[in-house]
Amino acid sequence: MTKLTRRKFAALAGAAGFTLVAPACSRNDTEAGYPQRDITFIIPNGPGGNFDSFVRVISPAMQKYLPNEVNIIPLNVPAGGGGKGLADLYRSRPDGYTIGAVNVPGAFTLQEQMGTNSFVLSEMTWLSTIAGGETYAIVVAPDSNIQNVDDLRALSQQRPIKFASTGPEGTSYAAIKVASEILGLDTQIISGYRGSSDYIVATIRGDSDCAVATLSTLRSFLEAGTVRLAASFEPESSIPGVPDATSIGLPELSQIRVERMVAAPPGLPDDIKQVLNAAIDQAVRDPDVVSWAEEVGHKWIPQARGNGDTVMQAQAAFFEKWKSVILS
């Protein structure tokens, strides 16, 4: 056996020391310059789903505005109705190499159902929203007898109003519950439809009296004349002839919004948060992104940089207030 010479010992010690220190070195990215490698953008939906296109359009734009040239790679994690994606995001290392898209208030309902073993929304790092959130509108079939909210109230006196919706874990379900409470309607929800297009078509077909959907989703249907709006929950209606939350006298309706948040795992360092917020902010105003939004008909209003915390506080307060109604 060869003797353990001093030189060999020093080499071994150096190697051991290096392996202990090296991981800490890689965490010190802000000194080296974040980002140093590709960033994963988790989408808790299947490909082609609601949030999917947003992320896929934003990602290449964000890449342009990061300090270093890296790729942002969208990763679909649809399992568990989106719960697994959120759980994966929550448990990832807060090093800026994993971010995720979160649909609120749907995520709150999911959290209630899955328990806080999986993820805790209040602990996550909230970056920004992707453009402004959207309010809802009540949509009816073109030949429906329902013209406005008064008709709905009158009908509600005779029998429960049928709304078509996706499942209880979704945002439209929560929106219907809260809106019914505010408007004072007796409603019955026909749930389980497979997406907003599915339940809008259900309303046209006559399965239900009405449904709620965002104006972006409804644009194509409205322009083709296949649906009509009974009311819009906007503070000021963007469609002539359709009553809005203010004219109905219930401005609270405009607080029912769906927001598209970008989030990171709990404990993300501030400087990395700044870099990401700047990239998102500039991406949202990028001409390619804006023209895409226009082509597809999304209402695209860039918001203040890094508005994640403010929006989430409002959303959390909203959910807390209406929790018992939504979960009933």
Partner 1 sequence: MLDIWLSGFLGLLEPTALTFLVIGMFVGLAFGAIPGLGGTTALALLIPITYGLEPFAALALAGGVMGAVPMGGSITAILLNTPGTAPNAAACLDGYPLAQQGKGGLAIGASASANALGGIIGTISVLLVIPIAREVVLIFGPPEFFLLAVLGLVVVSTTSRGQMLRSLLAGAFGLMLAFVGYSNVSGVERFTFGNTYLWDGIHLVPALIGLFAIAEMIHLSVKGGSVSHDSKNVKVIGMRQGMMETFNHMGTVVRGSLIGTIVGAVPGVGGTVASFMSYSMTMQASKNPDSFGKGNIQGVIAPEAAINAKDGSMLIPTLAFGIPGSAEMAVFLGLLVLHGMQPGPLMLIDHQVEIYGLIWALTASCVMAAFVGLLLVRPLAMVTLLDVKILVPIVVSVAMVGSYAVDLAIENVILTAIMGGIGYMMIRYDYSRLVLVVALVLGPTAERNYFQSMLISDGSWSIFFERIPSLILFVITISLIVYPIMGALLGRRKKQEGSGASGAGS
Residues that bind partner 1 (CB under 8 A): 46-49, 52-53, 56-57, 60, 74, 76-81, 83-84, 87, 113-115, 118, 162, 166-170, 188, 190-195, 197-198, 200-202, 204-205, 207-208, 219-221, 223-224, 226, 292, 295-297
Q: Tell the smallest beta-carbon distance from residue 308 to partner 1 (Å).
A: 25
Question: How far apart are CB 319 and partner 1 at their closest, in Å?
Answer: 17
Which residue, 11 or 239, has its beta carbon nearer to partner 1?
A: 239
What is the rounded CA–CA span in Å between residue 106 and residue 173? Answer: 9
> Which CB atom, from 226 or from 282, has the smaller least distance to partner 1?
226
The tokens describing 32, both together, are 């080296």
Question: Minimum distance between the CB of residue 258 and partner 1, rounded to whole angstroms?
Answer: 17
For the bound state, the minimum distance from the C-beta of residue 197 to partner 1, rounded and expressed in Å, comes to 4
- The least CB distance from residue 328 to partner 1, in Å, is 11
Nearer to partner 1, 155 or 200 (CB): 200
CA proximity to 214, closest of 110, 84, 106: 106
At its nearest, how many Å lie between partner 1 and the CB of residue 211? 13
Which residue in 273, 271, 255 sits closest to 263, CA to CA? Answer: 273
Concatenate the DSSP letters of all residues of 132-199 into one string.
--EEEEEEE-TT-S--SHHHHHHHHHHSPEEEE-S-TTSHHHHHHHHHHHHHT--EEEE---SSHHHH
Q: Identify the residue whose tokens are 């979160």.
A: 102
Nearer to partner 1 (CB atom), residue 235 or residue 297 = 297
Assigned token pair, 45: 């939906």
Q: How far apart are CA 118 and CA 236, in angstroms?
A: 39
Q: Report the chain's C-alpha Rg in angstroms.
A: 24
Nearer to partner 1, 140 or 149 (CB): 140
Q: State the angle between helix axes of 106-114 and 308-327 in degrees (0 to 180), rounded to the nearest 10.
A: 60
229 vs 248 by CB, closer to partner 1: 229
Tell me, rounded to whole angstroms, the distance of Cα 213 from its chain centroid.
Answer: 15
